[in-house]
Amino acid sequence: EAQVTQNPRYLITVTGKKLTVTCSQNMNHEYMSWYRQDPGLGLRQIYYSMNVEVTDKGDVPEGYKVSRKEKRNFPLILESPSPNQTSLYFCASRSREVGTEAFFGQGTRLTVV
């Protein structure tokens, strides 16, 4: 089954404690991205990756890092989380082929206290 898997689904952490949210896809997609969703602000892109070792900033990259060492994995790293990073996070993947759809993970609800 084609899927994007995020872990963990829920996380409560304290300010400043480094954390990583993992994302893995099994569709051999070139393109992967991270979004955060906040009430009233909708879905906003944090970082994206066109392929292995190719990443770039989205609309709200501050406070986040990513890496793309393997095609299937695209972890989101918060080196020093702060309460304003409390949000619902989604990972997505998509093929480079013309007119294809994006697949989204089930989300990670992060609370930073």
The reply to whether 39 sits near other proteins by the rule CB under 8 A is no
According to the binding rule CB under 8 A, does residue 31 interact with other proteins? yes
Of residues 24, 25, 33, 87, which one binds other proteins by CB under 8 A? 33
The amino acid sitting at 40 is: G
Q: Which of residues 51-110 bind other proteins (CB under 8 A)?
A: 56, 58, 88, 90, 92, 94, 96, 98-99, 101-107, 109
Dig out the tokens for 96 from the structure.
């480079």
Site size with other proteins, rule: CB under 8 A: 27
Buried b (16+ CB within 10 A) or exposed e, 22-49: ebbbeeebbbbbbbbeeeeeeeebbbbb
CA distances to 20, 69, 76, 87 from 38, rounded to whole Å, are 19, 29, 17, 6
Binding region for other proteins (CB under 8 A) = 4, 31, 33, 35, 37, 42-43, 45, 48, 50, 56, 58, 88, 90, 92, 94, 96, 98-99, 101-107, 109
